[in-house]
Amino acid sequence: MIAPNLKRLGLPLNSPSPSKGQINVKPDYEAMLAVALAEARQGLHEGGIPIGAAIFDAAGRLLGKGHNRRVQNGDPSMHGETDAFRNAGRQRSYRKLIMVTTLAPCWYCSGLVRQFGFGTVVIGESKNFQGGTAWLRSLGVRVIDLESNECASLLAEYIRTNPSVWNEDIGEE
């Protein structure tokens, strides 16, 4: 019953033939980003900054999701990535996990990726903010920018209407 599970995850059913009991399936990064984008919209609905994140295992199974709650909780450390990280709970290893975020991770969240050794980071967009993506790449982290217009426009509109909150979020005066 592998096919129904792959279909449920939104993964392609026409993957290469299994080798030694393994299934080689490329993750559906767009479907993963959709989870993070739903979180970003939830954050905006709550009155916060629209940045969402989600963590998946290599097979595409969702482990945790979250969104930026700095405004809602008055907690400067509650970025989307940290919320997803906390919701994913303890993991034996993070090397094969995929961090998906609607925006390029800031230096704080890039440090989380580095500290725990995530192997892949998928970002929705890096037009509004580049954060630590070049640094992560220099460390060998696989960074995939999906260049989502939807992610970029959602955050750009928020920045336009809330510049002081945005500047606070990224540590600018």
Phi, psi torsion values for 65, nearest 5 degrees: -140, 160
Residues contacting residue 70 through CB under 8 Å, at least 6 positions apart: 48, 49, 76, 78, 79, 168, 169
Strands in 62-67's sheet, in edge-to-edge order, are 62-67, 52-56, 98-101, 120-123, 142-145
Buried b / exposed e over 55-79, threshold 16 CB at 10 Å, is bbeeebebbbbbbbbbbeeeeeebb
Strand 62-67 to strand 52-56: parallel, antiparallel, or no bridges (unpaired)? antiparallel
| Residues acting as catalytic residues | 81
Tokens, residue 53: 């994140």
Alpha-carbon distance of 44 to 33, in angstroms, equals: 16
